[in-house]
Structure 1
């Protein structure tokens, strides 16, 4: 039989399914009976791939036929996308013990001309393809799929019009279904590094997704000193031949989400803004995260400055640096340095260092590093200062980098004699114009 499309098994008008256990040689009116080596899916599982075994010579899986697609349907029955078996003397079996009544009265009774115990309903092979208006359904190497229309955009033929989105610890890659099919790769043969992670079809595109919660899919996380990288690949094998030969070809498309480890940020606003936010687009436009620097009045970090108060010299200020949009279970924020200037220019010649190489400036005994390198939030405090020569404002700048917690000691050790030494080149820092301040100081003195 020329198997094409999806089939529903019926026996005298009742539902029946393939056996999930070994079928002995010579059963099902054939030399090599084929049975499903795996369980049937649930409704919520959608379309799944299952192995098919053929019994021979007292070995239940002596012959391994081509895998097939299986789907559970409402009404307690299954449909199978049968393909021509690898062995010509084999047939697909049905389990007589799995008979259930048909709930749909419109399903007609089909009589099998070979008078076997199983009957099939043959469906239009193009019905299941759901080709879009930019595609047309056709057959290639005995498999039906969607070809690209002449008017279809051919952007990125070599990469199958790949489009990638990166966010936090997740990534999504989509490819043109028709370009893949024309290259000989049906969508059902493709998966991520984890073979159980298949793509989903969305408006003519095959979409693959991974995340770090419950859908890792073989993703590998590495750090190279300047960036951390989530890597995965779309893989698959297609065979355009049959019988005793094969013409297999393999597809492997590697993709990655890259995040820069280090940044230098300056909080910058004109009229005493005391909380600022910036969206940073990372290298290659592949990822984005958010950085905030907020000054607080109290050690509980519950009362931020609102921009309307003068700050008395020697009054303690509490500063919080927060990074959002990255995986807080694997990545921490490290404050490398912070400094103050009397004008809104991080490179201004007049400056005072507060944090140097992750630790308090030893020449400023008021600086306290409260939290650094242990989470995506860094915190420190210092006492308000004033610049000489009639400068009346103070601007605060900090340089941070992201640290991969796995296998790294991200937390700063600022004990005497144990302070970190600079280990990275500053030329990788990406400067961003963000400000908090200016702080307007007034004369006076307060305690802690």
Structure 2
């Protein structure tokens, strides 16, 4: 509004009203100002009721007017001094740009929410299943799902989580990826055992809503997945020309884990001097044998040596054999056998004195059968009391029987 007299007949009215006083500053807040109307040469012939004025950031004012005193009056605007400024605008954000849909997806809107839809050629296993990929290693696991399939089913990736709600997924190349491990990212994962496997289990879960007004069509997603580790295997060393160490990698089907079993002969109980190359061992000389399992969680799983035996040829099923360990305990017929460590960690250790087979045999091949056991209340260790028959069979906490061979040992007299 103008702050000085406005002549009669201006502003499109007979009695123009102007502000009799100065405009306030920002720090003044709301102030009252007198309004005058010009008539018959008197700039303030009519005195209107006071109005309220407030200065606002952005160099503009807000007025609270009252009704003019006469119907021939109107408030004036000082258009010559009005500075036209554009109101601040909020930058438009492209929701599709933030989603980063892949070449196999396209961005669109469903029920007011933007997301990535699957292209026509994207594999769709069905309404009740999802394109999933699982990886298991030791005590950790990763599960990934197709983001666009989840969105088409009504589930937003940012609303899904593992059994622990704090463990959410991350988008990687169009897939929602969840990860857990048994170190510092457990995420509600449970470890269970049955008679043949031990199993890490978790669940991808979360809700979605649709509907409006007095109704809703809320739905909830629960996708259970597991990492399964089998118990048993039987393995032999490939060739007698390699060092006396046999390594086998166990590859399991999708969703199952992989671990490694090794059997190594040593000259000492500290396992510091392994036998290598072509080995000749004097009869009645003590030999130490270590059995190692790698690739499983050593805090929860132990290696149990179930049985060990020797044959004069590489065939572990050879009719001629000598038992060193049976049912996890030394063969009572061989007083030289000592089980030094069994069922307490992922390393097993035993020793015996070298022998020779009767007949025209010059070599000794060693074979062992091991299994994995869940460490619960020290239940994996065997108490081999002399004079008592060891118990037979394994509990449901024992898993993944494996046999592995090493040799040959060439005995000398």
- Report the TM-score, using the length of structure 1 for normalisation: 0.69
Distance 2:248 2:156 in 1: 43
Distance 2:253 2:197 in 1: 9
What is the 5 A alignment of 1:64-83?
Answer: none
SS in 2 for 1:127: helix
- Aligned partner of 2:130 in structure 1 is 160
Q: Give yes or no for the alignment of 1:322 onto 2:292.
A: yes
Decide whether aligned partners of structure 1 residues 431 and 361 sit closer, same or farther in structure 2, where only a CA change above 3 A counts: same
Q: Which runs of 5+ in 2 are unaligned?
A: 1-85
- Aligned partner of 1:420 in structure 2 is 390
Distance 1:394 1:324 in 2: 26
What is the 5 A alignment of 1:218-229?
Answer: 218-229=188-199
Distance 1:422 1:332 in 2: 18
Decide whether aligned partners of structure 1 residues 386 and 375 sit closer, same or farther in structure 2, where only a CA change above 3 A counts: same
Decide whether aligned partners of structure 1 residues 285 and 249 sit closer, same or farther in structure 2, where only a CA change above 3 A counts: closer
Deviation at 1:282, TM superposition (A): 3.2
What is the 5 A alignment of 1:1-400?
Answer: 111=88, 121-154=91-124, 158-271=128-241, 273-282=243-252, 286-400=256-370
The answer to whether the 8 A contact 1:269-1:436 is kept is no
The answer to whether the 8 A contact 2:229-2:400 is kept is no
Deviation at 1:189, TM superposition (A): 1.4
Deviation digits for residues 104-149 of structure 1, max 9, x if unmatched? xxxxx9647xxxxxxx554212121110011010011111100011
Deviation at 1:348, TM superposition (A): 1.1
The answer to whether the 8 A contact 2:282-2:354 is kept is yes
Deviation digits for residues 264-283 of structure 1, max 9, x if unmatched? 44344232530121101236
Give aligned pairs, total: 325
SS in 2 for 1:399: strand
Root-mean-square deviation (CA), in Å? Answer: 2.1
Decide whether aligned partners of structure 1 residues 374 and 275 sit closer, same or farther in structure 2, where only a CA change above 3 A counts: same
Deviation at 1:242, TM superposition (A): 3.0
The answer to whether the 8 A contact 2:231-2:401 is kept is no
- Report the TM-score, using the length of structure 2 for normalisation: 0.74
SS in 2 for 1:179: helix
The answer to whether the 8 A contact 2:203-2:222 is kept is yes
Question: Which one has a bigger Cα radius of gyration?
Answer: 2
